[in-house]
Structure 1
């Protein structure tokens, strides 16, 4: 599946990590040049610098062939414009937009090209479900074509793994740590990476349950 994500903030980066783990072709559009530069060697996605509200930028990013467009900038106005362009001009099959201000929720409907509107308070799992149209998601996302699950868990201050190297964490069999998100920035899951409270862990597993993954990091 070809996925186009508008916005490389914390949520946009997390979605890119998850979708890329499912062997999807992911492109992220971000107008902040410094942010794009910082993510070049970190995010497993094609990065385009520019304002996704501009049709030329969306076209350059591949909107004309995208199966899924996800608008997750911090501005509702931008998310609406991106959604409308994606659906009406580029005929994207599915468009999902984040609602930052709940007072604007009534605008996020098919008249603006939005197939699914996701409130800011909705957890990432729900946003991914809305984005993919999946109804059988058990953990973060069930990647049926890849035969794996991607599961997210967070490290709390009380976790026994705080301060421990990633290599010391005994994850369930058939489970691989795909990324560690720290302060909104993806970090390569090196064996000697010392885990910290607040870290968000994305793992890929063939068989582990969400509870088993949580238990490994608590």
Structure 2
């Protein structure tokens, strides 16, 4: 996929490195000298860096926005991210526009009407992670989706859970939860009905708030079926 990232700061640079490792074609637009130097020091190829303003139509076109599959707006200012998002969606019809929310008070602006398909609200994610750590012994939120109350969560199977060493088919999983993958040491397992749940495993799941509570009960130490 061809992906353009507007903003080459700490967040944009990390996203770029991650995408490049996964063999995507990436162009980072940045105009601040310090950020440009950091990108180069972190090993980003100069062919992946375009010096300029990501809210400038000529710069976006030079980056190849008319052929890109996704636009990531990751600057440190919400105004720039919204401007780039609207240009990408409404001027160039980019299929997927993802925007970073810096100020939580501006979160309501990041919607489809403003050209944003997916918003990443860091404060909201961190807040939910802290709340989860306080409320759920077994669950950590990895990503909260911008629509609805669904999240991608990591569930740890407690060593004292009575549901450990049972197959998925034997568990009464909540209807509003889907198990995506199971991690055990360095291996990844795609779960199915006969997959055995073992203590100490980490389970990647898609669930809403109520289902998260139920998953915590099922895989926690005081679970009962």
Give TM-score scaled by structure 2 length: 0.55
Which of 119, 122, 126 is residue 120 of structure 1 equivalent to? 122
Deviations for 1:165-200, whole angstroms, at most 9, x for unmatched residues? xxxxxxx87xxxxxxxxxxxxxxxxxxxxxxxxxxx
Which of 95, 98, 113 is residue 96 of structure 1 equivalent to? 98
Q: Which has the bigger relative contact order, CA under 8 A and spacing at least 6?
A: 1
Deviation at 1:35, TM superposition (A): 2.7
Q: Is the 8 A contact 1:13 1:43 kept in 2?
A: no
Deviation at 1:37, TM superposition (A): 4.0
Q: Is the 8 A contact 2:31 2:52 kept in 1?
A: yes
Question: Partner of 1:96: helix, strand, or coil?
Answer: strand
- Superposed counterparts of 1:1-218, under 5 Å: 1-40=1-40, 42-44=42-44, 46-121=48-123, 122=125, 126=143, 207=187
Q: Which runs of 4+ in 1 moved over 4 A?
A: 135-138
- Quote the Cα distance in structure 2 between the aligned partners of 1:15 and 1:208: 23
Q: Is the 8 A contact 2:143 2:152 kept in 1?
A: no
Q: Against the structure 1 CA distance between its residues 17 and 98, is the aligned structure 2 distance closer, same or farther, given a 3 Å change threshold?
A: same
- Quote the Cα distance in structure 1 between the aligned partners of 2:142 and 2:24: 17
Q: Which runs of 5+ in 1 are unaligned?
A: 139-171, 174-206, 213-218
Deviation at 1:65, TM superposition (A): 0.9
- Quote the Cα distance in structure 2 between the aligned partners of 1:33 and 1:44: 15
Q: Larger Rg: 1 or 2?
A: 2
Deviations for 1:25-46, whole angstroms, at most 9, x for unmatched residues? 0110011134324423634450
- Quote the Cα distance in structure 2 between the aligned partners of 1:43 and 1:66: 23
Q: Output the aligned Cα RMSD.
A: 3.2
Aligned to 1:186: none
Which structure dedicates a bigger proportion of its chain to helix?
2
- Quote the Cα distance in structure 2 between the aligned partners of 1:136 and 1:33: 36
Q: Against the structure 1 CA distance between its residues 208 and 67, is the aligned structure 2 distance closer, same or farther, given a 3 Å change threshold?
A: same
